Amino acid sequence: AAGQQFGVRPPPKRERMGAPEATPLLKKNGSVVCVEALSYGVAAGKSWRQELREISMAASPGEVYACMGRSGPWMSSLLELLAVQRKSGVMSGRILYDGVPASAANKHAATLVSRESHLSCVSALTVREVVSVSAELREAESGALVNETLRLLGLSKCADVRVGSETVRGISGGEKKRVAIALGLVSRPRIVLLDEPTTGLDSTTALEVMRHVREAVAREHGTTVVATLHTPSADVFGHCDKLLLTTTDGRMAYAGAAAEVLAHLSTVVPSLVASHSAESSNPADVALAVASSPGSSRRLAASFADSKAGRDAAAAVRAAACFVATVPKPVVGRADVARKVSALACRSWTQFARSRAIWQTSIFKMAWIGFLYSTTFCNQPLNAKGAANLESCFYFALMFGILGNLRGIVTLFDERSLYEHERANGAYSPAVYWLVTSFAQIPWLVFINVLFSTLIFFSIGGAKISGTAWVWAWYLLVTQLTNLVGFAWAQMLAAWTSSPQVAMSIWQPGVYVWSQTSGYPIKLPDISRCNPAYWLMFVSFTRWAYEAIVVGFFHSGWGSLSRKDILEEFGYPTTSLWLLLAPLVVFVLFVRFVTYPPLREKRGQLVVAVQASDADTEKDAIAVAIPADREESKRLDAFERVRVDVDPLWYSVRVVDARSGDVKVKPLLRGVAATAASGDLLAIMGPSGAGKSTFLDVVSGRKTTGFGRGSVKYNGESPTQRQRHKQQCYVMQHDVLIPNLTVAETVRIASMLRLENPTSKDVSERAAVVLDLLGIYASASTLVRGLATGERRLCAAAVEMVHLPAVMFLDEPTSGLDSKMSLDFVRAMLRLAGQRATLLCTIHQPSEQIFRLFPKILVIGDGRATFSGTPDEAAATMRAVDDPASSASRNPAEWLLDVAKTPEDDDDGLLEPVPDGFDLDATLGAARGGWESLLGDGPARQFYHFRVHLLRNILVLSHSRQALLIALIRNICVALWYGVVYFDQTNMHSLASVNYFSQQFITMSNLQAIPTLFAERALFYREVSAGFYQVLPYLAARCTLNAVVQLPLVLAYCVITYPMVNMRGGLFSSHFVFFYCVMFGLSLAGYSFSNLIAAITPNQQSALNLYSALFQFSMFFCGYAIPIDQVPSYWSWAPQFSFARWSFESLILNEFGGLQGDDDEDATYWLKYWHFYGHNKYYTFGVFVCQVAVFHALALAAMRLVSFQRT
């Protein structure tokens, strides 16, 4: 009756495929894969984890060989070993391709299809474009292949939709998984290795994927397919020809024909097979349940080795090891290289063109600084003062060209994951990628340089000189080469380092070396030949660039100054102009060639041993199941009773067409209603992209975009945001955790943040209860980055439900778990429901046993509710409308998903906002709260959260000491550099230069806060939206810990630089203390400034563009580049708002103020020159401190009011 009420139609019939026909191996396009006695282990912290033990298998062309077993890293490890991509650990045994040991020489025969995490750098491309590029990298005529692949994987409907990311709306999670599979299939390899291709897909879509893999990939093309599978449905399992089944400790429980696995297990453990068969008719579920049985690993492995199936498997392995065939190595001609280069370049240009925030901030950066320089140095007079100002302008413009290309670091890191994936799968060589990264950004760099340099050239008076046209062209050429060096240098650092933070730490010392050796701060005639800076000037590209600009621009002198006068000032010889280009060209080529070696595949540290360690016992199992009689959960307090009523919901989103740019409306929900009472567990099912996660997001109040109509009520009333934070939790589909914390630390921190005034005992007990409940107590001391996929999912669930809320939303909580862990997880949810909690969860392809555990089911198809009722009602409806013969052994969950895919009526959904509905797009700015909510909770609660955040940050820092060491070495190196260059200085202008460059360096030393904040952004959004805390304690804890860390780092810089340069008073004077206080204040200013920039920009490249523009603005008006009284009237306000002006003035007054004797005259001259004479250093320092406080307040407001989260 329930099915008829929702208009259930019988779905199309499914046909199971029989065994493959025997075909001679030589007629196939695949390779015979032989795995012989493979064992593998890896170090996990201070312990050893044995993942595989004596695994043997033989996969032939035309076969689909499934690998099943416990959840854990062993699946990925096995496939990476097969693909010759595993770089660490200890391995024994052999892996053969057609009788030849698998190695780098023949690894091109295999393609590993991993998960979709590497698609973030192509978020602006459509699905068709992403797949087309991947196909074009392999073959010239790829159009038909792309269309067929999209059709078979069910991606035709979303082919013209952008892939999307966390901040760009795009396709659903299930569709991304299919895109990742499509990228591997279009390469048409001899061996296809699929890493959990059905995880996260509904059973119908998973069946379509596996049908395509078997029919089109394995059978039609004769490819050898090896796939790891989690909880496959009976139909999906039926599309597997062979099966490798492993036990909980990595031993072989079975290897052979998939259809015969239960027959074999029945001869070994008949009682277990009979027991699990009574609970499920799916042979995959039964096999996994038997293999996961506690204490049976050694028995199953020994029994298989002695059985007929084991002897047959051993014979097949011996035959495969003896089979020898020549695997043709692909021949890559010039046409192929040109096609690959063209495809990669077009992908890069398209992504950049559609990433509006990046190029818009880049244009703003160049236009803003260009306007600043051109108006400040506008129309310089033909005299000595005018020439001096032009020299300053050229210097600062040159250095900004280097600073402005800092985003080159991020461009390479953004693409690293995708590049390493494509390189490993043989899509192209490192040389192709190196070539593309060498020129792909050149058109944009040329465009913005022409705008920037032309604006400056003609504004400062370039039209006054003779030969204006060729001098302008010369100036453009030199500045363009300098920009190319700056961008290439940034990419080189990215290629050689492990993270953006490390690259930026190394980048900063380089900036100051180049700036000091350009020939402007310290001119060549003024420096001793004993000074290392003198010799560095001959290899510094900034020196040759600056000399080329000066020589070219002043080729005919400037007013009364002759060319010879100007060149003698800098010590430049009267050499040929074109010879000055040679060092720049050589430097560009050198940096690009140095970038190439790290792009090549690194030699791994995989140790091939005679016999891998087998010391660990069954306690090594990755997942520790919870015994059914576990009593800890009884300690849970009863939950508050909350009934969730969802009136019919309509919901639509506005999307931008990737090709036309038009805004279109896409309905996602069409009148879906539901009710979940206290103690209910409502399972929400549906095909991929049907609207399950959307429905859960709308009901839980997480949506920040779109519009619709309908209501959600808790106990008959609309919940407020504060009530939601207290009464509900949301376990996301993709876990967001801090990788450098252990599981115990992660859950304890979450307990401290979510519980009301907990004691240490409360925190420990709650963490233990939740870890016990979810079965990850055994992994409590493991770092999150070392967890398996299933363990990470359970850890994420523990973090969210640690405060035991009355209403729990879980988005695909069992995705990535094996059937045993999925069953344990669902039983854990049922125990929570038994404590009166209300649970709503989405779920993909549940087994029949799991399906029947759910008290209530809601099925959504194409945004409509197609079924609502109990599992028994679903089974009754299936028997009523389906063929009785096929429905008897069919999982009702799979039938419901087929029904949900059946086309319904032509209801278009909600196409525009309605008066009684909601429009989240119109209130997006207020979604995070207003000014009145900046402080949030009371002072006591805020201070408590501050302490918790401080503790968490300290724990993270304790696990990442390398960053501190790099920062300390950086500060010492720069201090020594300035100390040597300006050693024992008496020249007051040089002393002022040391103060200026010191404040610039210390401020920029906190630039790493930008990538750090972006790395934590997803976690921050999740925790704030869930009501863990307010922004104030989060930011205050970050700033406090940074201040503590900066105290010794800044001190290390100061104690080296100050005495070496011979600054005023020496190391033990009050002047040094004041100098240190200003430097420390600058480090705080730089940190808050970086936080502010990161908070108001959507991505790292945009942040670095904006940082360059605003940082240069502040430094330019500090008084060093142009004295305060010489600033044009229309810029007179700028020095007042420049924090660098007040810090620089404080430093200069500290160094020169109140000097006696002969020094007083010199000091007075310079103080008057900079317009600092008569000022008080404590007043200027007070103004500076106030501006630092304003930066912190602005960063707080930006993090609270600006959100780029799109849900």
With a CB cutoff of 8 Å and minimum separation 6, the contacts of 1160 are none
Q: Is 105 exposed, middle or buried (0-12, 13-18, 19+ CB in 10 A)?
A: exposed
Mean pLDDT of 79-101: 88
DSSP sequence for 516-542? HTSSSSS-GGGS-TTSHHHHHTTT-HH
The predicted pLDDT at position 1077 comes to: 96
Q: Give residue for tokens 């192709």.
A: 432
pLDDT, one tens digit per residue, over 726-780 is 888 888 877 778 888 888 888 998 888 888 778 888 888 888 888 887 777 777 8
What b/e readout covers 1145-1159, taking b as 16+ CB neighbours within 10 angstroms?
Answer: bbbbbbbbbebeeee
Looking at the predicted structure, is the pLDDT value of residue 509 above 80? yes
Looking at the predicted structure, is the pLDDT value of residue 844 above 80? no
The predicted pLDDT at position 933 comes to: 45
DSSP sequence for 1056-1108? HHHHHHT-TT-TTSHHHHHHHHHHHHHHHHHHHHHHHHHHT-SSHHHHHHHHH
Quick one: which H or E segment has residue 820? Answer: helix 819-834
User: What backbone torsions phi and psi does residue 1120 show, to the nearest 5 degrees?
Assistant: -80, -45
The predicted pLDDT at position 254 comes to: 94
Share of the chain above pLDDT 70, in %: 88
Mean pLDDT of 876-904: 69
The predicted pLDDT at position 1058 comes to: 95
pLDDT, one tens digit per residue, over 562-585 is 888 888 888 888 667 888 888 999
Looking at the predicted structure, is the pLDDT value of residue 650 above 70? yes
pLDDT, one tens digit per residue, over 797-811 is 888 888 888 899 988
Looking at the predicted structure, is the pLDDT value of residue 634 above 70? no
Nearest CA among 1005, 1035, 1010 for reference residue 1023: 1035
Q: How confident is the model at residue 924 (pLDDT cuts 50, 70, 90)?
A: very low
Q: Give residue for tokens 């700056």.
A: 486
First-residue to last-residue Cα distance in the chain = 35
With a CB cutoff of 8 Å and minimum separation 6, the contacts of 816 are 71, 196, 199, 200, 230, 789, 790, 793
1146: tokens are 């404080």
Q: How confident is the model at residue 332 (pLDDT cuts 50, 70, 90)?
A: low
Q: Give residue for tokens 């038909």.
A: 144
The predicted pLDDT at position 44 comes to: 65
With a CB cutoff of 8 Å and minimum separation 6, the contacts of 724 are 700, 701, 1027
* Whole-number Cα distances in Å, 838 to 83, 678, 682, 692, 852: 45, 5, 8, 18, 18
Angle (CA) 292 295 299, round 5°: 90
With a CB cutoff of 8 Å and minimum separation 6, the contacts of 15 are none
Interatomic CA distance for residues 708 and 653, integer angstroms: 9
pTM of the model: 0.81
Pick the range with the lowest mean pLDDT from 64-73, 448-457, 1054-1063: 64-73
Interatomic CA distance for residues 806 and 136, integer angstroms: 52
Interatomic CA distance for residues 375 and 601, integer angstroms: 49
Interatomic CA distance for residues 362 and 379, integer angstroms: 26
Mean pLDDT of 1140-1148: 94
The predicted pLDDT at position 1206 comes to: 63
More confident residue, 315 or 325: 315
Interatomic CA distance for residues 693 and 703, integer angstroms: 11
CA atoms within 13 A on the CB side of 1082: 34
pLDDT, one tens digit per residue, over 244-258 is 999 888 899 999 999
More confident residue, 902 or 488: 488
The predicted pLDDT at position 349 comes to: 93
Q: Is 103 exposed, middle or buried (0-12, 13-18, 19+ CB in 10 A)?
A: exposed
Nearest CA among 70, 403, 159 for reference residue 1110: 403
The predicted pLDDT at position 1053 comes to: 96
Q: Give residue for tokens 């060589």.
A: 429
Share of the chain above pLDDT 90, in %: 29
Best-predicted range by mean pLDDT among 144-153, 510-519, 919-928?
510-519
With a CB cutoff of 8 Å and minimum separation 6, the contacts of 983 are 531, 1060, 1061, 1062
Looking at the predicted structure, is the pLDDT value of residue 64 above 90? yes
Ramachandran category for residue 1128: left, alpha or beta (phi over 0 → left; psi -120 to 50 → alpha): beta
Length of the chain: 1207
Partners of residue 48 on adjacent β-strands: 43
Nearest CA among 1001, 1148, 1026, 1019 for reference residue 1086: 1001
Looking at the predicted structure, is the pLDDT value of residue 622 above 60? no
The predicted pLDDT at position 21 comes to: 40
The predicted pLDDT at position 310 comes to: 92
Looking at the predicted structure, is the pLDDT value of residue 1158 above 70? no
Looking at the predicted structure, is the pLDDT value of residue 1139 above 50? yes
Interatomic CA distance for residues 483 and 447, integer angstroms: 12
Interatomic CA distance for residues 271 and 278, integer angstroms: 11
